[in-house]
Amino acid sequence: MTVRTPLVYNGSQLQEMKASDLANIYKVAAYYYGQSPAVTLTVAGSGGNLTSMNDTRLQAGAVSTSSGGYPSEGTTAEPSTVTTSYQRITQTVGTANITTSDTGKTFPIYWTGTQVRAMTQQDFIDTFVQPTIDVMALGSTTSAQGGTYFISTSSSVAGATLVSATPVFTDTRADTSLYTADQIGEALDQPQTITNYYLLKIDGEIGTGGSYNPPIFLDASNNLKQYSTADIGALLQEYVKNAVVNTAGYRLRYNIDGSGTLRGSAMVNTVLTGGSGNYQTRLVGSNDYRAQEFPDGTPATANTYSFKIAKS
């Protein structure tokens, strides 16, 4: 692996890129990748190919009736668990390849110590492409991670685009306020939504605040020129897309609870715990005695799901 230090024009002369210059080029690469990502995620009501996630909650036990007195607590049905499975995220890996040939002047220049020289294709990959993907795969959700995805409890996040208004996971619990003795015999399952979790895609930006210092290349007549944003962007996009799909160690993929780095909010499934069933009775008529056990307990985390980005 050979990382070169590209040259830029500082307004009066050529100089080697600083770390901040390189960081801005990585942002340019991520931004252009995000305009046509090679690995995409979509959301639908069901049928996704990422791991299924289960939301669990309690519901009331079935009502018990008697004509000669209230059914005892020992004979009434206990609250039971309702499970809802969410498998709404579909990952699609597209195809990508390199079509731009190395003419000997295709890529940015650097200073050897004695002369200006154009990078080779591998130099370009080592200097720009792989470091860009390293940054894209971090757990952060800044513009430097443009074109990648994360989970949020909000459907509107600055610098990101909502993939779908359909939550990828919803945490629910029994709404204990809705269970009352005078309504014994009503619906067993009366949930409340605690938290919705959404999938968003990071927009990215060109450099910092739209500003960056473009690298320099040699034209056909060996003149020094700055890349246009469109030209360097297209070159970076092509190579980043190819690496994300095809290059071992730099393939980007998403998963639930697998290897990699947590991206955004962990998805928490909470339940009521510690209760024994809230036993209640109701007299409907002279020969209609009813009893039922309602959900009770204290909210607690049952389990947590982690949406991750991973290099492989």
- What is the residue whose two structure tokens read 């246009």? 228
Quick one: tokens of 132? 């860009």
181 CB burial (10 A radius; 0-12, 13-18, 19+) = middle
Question: Can you read off the two tokens belonging to residue 127?
Answer: 């200097």
Its pTM stands at 0.95
Task: For the chain, list residues with pLDDT below 70.
Answer: none
Nearest in space to 219 (alpha carbons), one of 103, 90, 77: 103
CB of 279 within 8 A of CB of 73? Answer: yes
Q: Which residues of 274-287 are buried (b: 16+ CB within 10 A; e: fewer)?
A: ebebbbbbbeeeee
Q: For residue 211, what pLDDT is reported?
A: 85
Strands 191-202 and 160-162: antiparallel
Q: DSSP characters for 13-32?
A: SEEEPPHHHHHHHHHHHHHH
Residue corresponding to tokens 């991750």:
308
pLDDT at 207: 84
Partner residues linked to 274 by β-bridges:
297
The answer to whether the Cα torsion of 97, 101, 107, 112 is positive or negative is positive
Q: How far apart are CA 282 and CA 3, in angstroms?
A: 78
Amino acid type, 113: G
* 192 neighbors 172 (Cβ within 8 angstroms): yes
Residue pair 128/236 in contact (Cβ under 8 Å)? The answer is yes
> Do the Cβ atoms of 218 and 48 come closer than 8 Å?
no
Cα-trace Rg, the chain: 29
**pLDDT, tens digit, 9 for 90 and up, residues 39-85:** 999 999 999 999 999 999 999 999 999 999 999 999 999 999 999 99
The token pair at 98 is: 């390199």
Q: Determine the pLDDT at residue 255.
A: 99
